Amino acid sequence: MFCYECHEELLHNPVLLPEDIKRFAELVRYRQLAEEDKPTHRKKIAGRVELFHEIIARGLAALAKDGKGAN
């Protein structure tokens, strides 16, 4: 459960730096999830959403493993 401010800032308005977007775009291209035109199916956008979740999960796991995210 999130307070209103955390909910708005973390979930609705995440702050991504230009370098973050560049690196994400590289991964999107590498995994062949990029699109030039908007297709009728949503397979690639679903893949990009899954990739973004994977990035967050791996980052959280790495920080927890390093002891930088654990209490």
Average pLDDT over the chain reads 89
Q: How do the domains of the chain map onto residue ranges?
A: 24-71
* Greater pLDDT, 70 or 68: 68
Whole-angstrom Cα distance, residue 35 to residue 44? 8
Whole-angstrom Cα distance, residue 54 to residue 58? 6
* 63, two tokens: 């920080």
Mean pLDDT value across residues 17-46: 94
Mean pLDDT value across residues 42-49: 94
Which pLDDT score is estimated for 27?
98
Question: Model's pTM, two decimal places?
Answer: 0.78
Mean pLDDT value across residues 5-26: 88
